[in-house]
Chain A
Amino acid sequence: MFEFEFMRNAFMACTVVGVVAGAVGYFLVLRGETFAGHALAHVGFPGATGAVLIGVSPLLGMVAFTVAAGIGIGLLGEKAHRDVAIGIVLTQALGLGLLFLHFYTTSAGMVTGLLFGSNVLGISLERVWTLVILGAACLVALAAIGRPLLFASLQPELAEAKGTRLELVSILFMVIVALATTEAMQIVGVLLVFALMVAPAATAMHLTRRVQHGIVVSVMLAVVTAWISLTLAFYTDWPTSFWITALGSLAYLASTRIRMRHSR
């Protein structure tokens, strides 16, 4: 299957996105902010459709909308009813996306692609390079704030007392999550970002006791899941996103079994 250029492109895209989603997802799960990640992906929907409406690249629209929403969520901090606020923004985002579509009558194929990510097998080399640059920015930023992020995630009160600026760390991390979800959306679509951002990270957390190991396992799971899914999609002609969700859930289920056996 590697004789086809579109498969080589798809594998490259999945590798980049898998590394980013696995690494960022680990911290997302550690902080218990998976819902925020889910919501950020939804905000990408009006970003993309709005961008199409005014004639710019959908990717640009996604980045702009998700980063803005990420800063907003970061500013909310740990306020009460944060989940309600995020949920309302999430619904509003989908509604807005629908409105943009109403003005710009487009093919159902594009909508399906945005929501469920059906376009990875048709991804261009140019788009792959965009993903590489975006992903590299994500990883560099994550590496820069890694230590305070970990401290603030595990023990916020202590971190604050020791001088860590919780709000700054939280906002920076949410911007990183926004970029990472935009990446993941290119493969699995708005609605299924959980499958790449959360499932591998949560599985890794069950299997490891150390942060470094956890991140490595999370990245490996995300990348391998995407690779196997691409291969299965190639031979079965079923959607790649379906395989990613199926494999992600299976791995998570298996890890809960292993964890139960360990803790006995």
Chain B
Amino acid sequence: MTAIVFEKVSLTLGRRRILSSVSFSVPEGLFVGVLGPNGAGKTTLMRAVLGLVTPQSGRIAVLGEAPRRGNRGIGYMPQMRRGAAQLGLSGFELVLGAVGGTRWGWPLATKADKETAWAALERVGAANLARRPIAQLSGGERQRVLIAQALIGEPKLLLLDEPLASLDPVHQRGVVELVRDIARERGIAVLFCAHEINPLLRAVDQVLYLGNGRAAIGPVDDVVNRHVLSDLYRTPIHVARLNGRIFVMAEDGELESHAHDDD
């Protein structure tokens, strides 16, 4: 079964066109890095897969069916809001709130809810972290807890929105390797949004570049080169490789900003 299929999909956000007639597919169990400048539509693309945004035209299939909210086959990790990050509540409470969050009733967790939450936290090595207040966790520790949350319900597809934002390189590598190992072990397809290709190089099977309403997908070498990216961004792009790292530059400067430049 194919994890995601986009057939001539056009998406708009307000009046802005995010994707125009984009087609691609992501096979089961594939790790795909989603890249592109701010506003290229990475988050909107994920929201379309989640069934939160309806395409203007074209067809989307997710795990063999039309996108719909509450699809249990999808694990999702949105960008963390500053508000929730400052709470005095423990990480476990956050995860527990998500486990039974869609059922009506008073938020008393059942034994099964708690076991589900602990199991997910243990898988990512965050059981001890989750006892501490969220506000006291470092960025990397917090991402670990949120990844645990995305794994609840044994998803076949993971959508991770900027999990590397404001992490240092060591923690970036930790998060990427954690996701890669779990995804391989369980055969989960991953869409991993990031600002920069380098932290993902050792994990991705393919990359999906977004820009100007269009998309380019394929193995790193097939996409991250002068021809494909210049065509995608409609401006001359240079790609340089140095010590196993890739630098993508537009004529007027580096295209891919580093994570710490963003916030």
Q: Is the CB of B107 within 8 A of A150?
A: yes
Stretch from B93-101, B117-125, B217-225 that touches the partner: B93-101
Stretch from B84-92, B202-210, B230-238 that touches the partner: B84-92
Q: Of B77, B87, B136, which is within 8 A of A263 by CB?
A: B136
Most chain A CB atoms below 10 A, which of B47, B74, B101, B105 = B101
Q: Does A146 contact B (CB under 8 A)?
A: yes
Stretch from A114-122, A157-165, A220-228, A246-254 that touches the partner: A157-165
Q: Contacts A163-B69, A205-B88, A209-B133; is A155 near B100 (CB within 8 Å)?
A: no
Q: Is the CB of B97 within 8 A of A144?
A: no
- The chain A residue with its CB closest to the CB of B94 is A154
Q: Does A259 contact B (CB under 8 A)?
A: yes
- The chain B residue with its CB closest to the CB of A205 is B88
A152-B81 Cα distance, complex, nearest whole Å: 13
Q: Contacts A162-B69, A210-B93; is A144 near B101 (CB within 8 Å)?
A: no
Q: Is the CB of B78 within 8 A of A157?
A: yes
Q: Does A145 contact B (CB under 8 A)?
A: yes
Q: Of B47, B87, B105, B133, which is within 8 A of A146 by CB?
A: B105
- The chain A residue with its CB closest to the CB of B83 is A32
Q: Is the CB of A148 within 8 A of B102?
A: yes
- The chain A residue with its CB closest to the CB of B136 is A263
For chain B, what secondary structure do more than half of its interface residues adopt (helix, strand, loop), or is it mixed?
loop
A150-B94 Cα distance, complex, nearest whole Å: 9
Q: Is the CB of A146 within 8 A of B76?
A: no
Q: What is the number of residues of chain B that contact chain A, defined by CB distance less than 8 Å?
A: 34
Q: Of B47, B77, B88, B98, which is within 8 A of A162 by CB?
A: B98
A52-B108 Cα distance, complex, nearest whole Å: 42
1/0 per residue, CB under 8 A from A, across B42-72: the answer is 0000010010100000000000000001100
A155-B101 Cα distance, complex, nearest whole Å: 10
A145-B94 Cα distance, complex, nearest whole Å: 17
Q: Is the CB of A151 within 8 A of B101?
A: yes
Most chain B CB atoms below 10 A, which of A154, A156, A164, A211 = A154
Chain A residues positioned under 8 Å from B77 (CB to CB): 158
Q: Does A206 contact B (CB under 8 A)?
A: yes
A212-B97 Cα distance, complex, nearest whole Å: 11
Q: Is the CB of A151 within 8 A of B52?
A: no
For chain A, what secondary structure do more than half of its interface residues adopt (helix, strand, loop), or is it mixed?
helix
Chain A residues positioned under 8 Å from B94 (CB to CB): 154-155
CB distance from A162 to the nearest CB of B (A): 5
Chain A residues positioned under 8 Å from B70 (CB to CB): 161-163
Q: Is the CB of A161 within 8 A of B133?
A: no
Q: Does A257 contact B (CB under 8 A)?
A: no
Q: Does A34 contact B (CB under 8 A)?
A: no
Q: Does A147 contact B (CB under 8 A)?
A: yes
A144-B107 Cα distance, complex, nearest whole Å: 9
Q: Does A133 contact B (CB under 8 A)?
A: no
A205-B88 Cα distance, complex, nearest whole Å: 7
Q: Is the CB of B105 within 8 A of A164?
A: no
Q: Of B83, B90, B108, which is within 8 A of A209 by CB?
A: B90
- The chain A residue with its CB closest to the CB of B80 is A155
Q: Is the CB of A158 within 8 A of B76?
A: yes
Q: Does A143 contact B (CB under 8 A)?
A: yes
Q: Is the CB of B69 within 8 A of A160?
A: yes
Chain B residues positioned under 8 Å from A263 (CB to CB): 133, 135-136
A154-B92 Cα distance, complex, nearest whole Å: 12
Q: Does A124 contact B (CB under 8 A)?
A: no
Chain A residues positioned under 8 Å from B76 (CB to CB): 157-158, 161-162
Q: Does A231 contact B (CB under 8 A)?
A: no
CB distance from B163 to the nearest CB of A (A): 13
Q: Of A143, A144, A158, A209, which is within 8 A of B89 by CB?
A: A209
Q: Is the CB of B83 within 8 A of A163?
A: no
A164-B208 Cα distance, complex, nearest whole Å: 30
Q: Contacts A151-B101, A161-B78; is A211 near B107 (CB within 8 Å)?
A: yes
Could you tell me which residues of chain B, from 130 to 174, have a CB within 8 Å of some CB in chain A? 133, 135-136, 149
Q: Does B16 contact A (CB under 8 A)?
A: no
| 20 A–B pairs (Cβ distance < 8 Å), ordered by A | A30-B87, A144-B105, A144-B106, A146-B105, A147-B97, A147-B104, A147-B107, A148-B102, A150-B107, A151-B97, A154-B84, A154-B87, A154-B94, A155-B94, A156-B81, A158-B76, A161-B70, A162-B76, A210-B93, A259-B88
Instruction: Identify the 6 closest CB pairs spanning chains A and B, nearest first.
Output: A163-B70, A151-B101, A157-B78, A146-B106, A143-B106, A209-B90
Footprint of B on A, CB under 8 Å?
Answer: 30, 32, 143-148, 150-152, 154-164, 205-206, 208-212, 214, 259, 263
